[in-house]
Amino acid sequence: MSEGKNIIWKPNFWYTLLRPYVDLCTLFSYRKIEVEGTPHDGAVIFSPNHTNTVMDSLVILRTKRSPTVFGARGDVFNNPTVEKILRFLRILPMVRQRDKMKRVIRNSDTFLEVDDSLAHSVPFCIFPEGRHHLDLTILPLYKGISHIAVTSALQRQTYIQPIGILYDDFLHFRSRCKVRFGEPFDVNAFLSQQATDDAKEVGPVLLEAIHSRMQDLVREPLPQRKRNIPLALLTAPFALLGALLTLPMWVGAEAICRRLGDIAFSNTARYSVKLLGTPLMFVIWAVVFFVLLPWYVAAGLLVYFLFSYSITYDWWNLVRK
């Protein structure tokens, strides 16, 4: 493990303090988040599909209160400041073979930190497809997950738990989300049935087993939401008020979305604006409302503001095709 770095799985005061707000923003980013199955405890490696960039990690994080360490593409760690932020969020760099050799060597440090987390019964979540994509076909898996699983299983009881993440709309904010936890896969039992425990030899067989279980969890897509013009007309005054209260937020979010090189990051951008913009706008409106209006009207408008960003996007979803 690299010296001078914080131990990734250990409790952190600021992380613990901010976590409820992050989870709340995740909850408000969807009309509904359903969870099927139960996250496994102990030395477990979560193996979800990857369709909605950062939002996939956030919905998994929200399913359990205890800490989880995540893996992310190694190239986003190139900036030292970004690396500090990501490590604070318990995210480690996962470098792929196609990356430069100096970066690939970095994986040895990551594997040590992952193994240390599993040794302390802190789950590790890795997106084994290696990249996000806007469909429910599971791509070929990278071998990092098999290396981590076999290394851990040689030292302790280890499980891989496949996860299926489904959305009724990949690109629009306030969609419906379902997180399906599959049956935990006993890596130790798997190795006992193999002729060798060498990760290079058993890896392809293990990857095939994981791939099959992941695909089974995403075979049934969620039905898409339909337009509802009568309801949109009925709720238009409330939506208009919400849109006015959050005007700088949703205008800014949509401006960012138009400039994105990858549209899959659209909901991540909208979530980020909500996460950072809500406290700032709350303070601004609190000053304006309590200076100009009776306290009870000001208090009511502030409460309504907290829901307004979601209300605005809900209304748009009622009228869009």
The pLDDT tens digits of the residues spanning 27-80 come to: 999 999 999 999 998 999 999 999 999 999 999 999 988 899 999 888 778 888
C-alpha to C-alpha distances, 314 to 34, 230, 307, 317, nearest whole angstrom: 18, 14, 11, 5
CATH 3.40.1130.10 domain span(s) along the chain: 13-217
Position 101 pLDDT exceeds 70: no
Quote helix, strand, coil % in the chain, to nearest 5: 55, 10, 35
End-to-end CA distance of the chain: 51
Which CATH number is correct for 13-217, 3.40.1190.20, 3.40.50.300, 3.40.1130.10, 3.30.1330.10? Answer: 3.40.1130.10
**Rounded Cα–Cα distance for residues 321 and 314 (Å):** 13
What is the pLDDT at residue 2?
46
What is the pLDDT at residue 105?
56
> In 10 A of CB 119, how many CB atoms?
13
pTM recorded for the entire structure:
0.91
Amino acid at 83: E
Per-residue model confidence as pLDDT tens digits over 211-248: 999 999 999 889 988 899 999 999 999 999 999 999 99
Position 151 pLDDT exceeds 60: yes
